[in-house]
Amino acid sequence: MTQGALHHLESYLAGRESSRTVSNWAMQVLSADDAIESPLLEEAIVALANLEHGDKRLDTADEDLKFFRDCLMGRRAFEPAARVAEKRVN
């Protein structure tokens, strides 16, 4: 599933796939009964699903998609949003 997410991230960022195509793929993944193997992968797929709102202002920013791509490739560190929020409270 990680390779699929990377493929769609790269294809979208390079302009080879539309936001609708990528979002549809991500929605199919999210609606399947299969567990997503990591919080990073889940957040990346949710970000891809959010590409097709019908309002560009609500779509996931390219810089966020590049961040997820880099994290999935091991180029950057990823910390789940829940853990970041927990650190802010403590």
**pLDDT tens string 29-87:** 999 978 888 999 999 999 999 998 777 777 889 999 999 999 999 999 998 765 544 55
Model-level pTM?
A: 0.83
Domain boundaries, the chain: 2-89
> Number of C-alpha atoms within 13 angstroms, CB side, residue 84?
6
**pLDDT tens string 11-20:** 999 999 999 9
Report the pLDDT value the prediction gives residue 52, as an integer from 0 to 100.
Answer: 86
3-state helix/strand/coil string of the chain: CHHHHHHHHHHHHCCCCCHHHHHHHHHHHHHCCCCCCCHHHHHHHHHHHCCCCCCHHHCCCHHHHHHHHHHHCCCCCCCCHHHHHHHHHC
Residue 89 pLDDT greater than 80, yes or no: no
Rg of the chain taking only CA atoms, in angstroms: 13
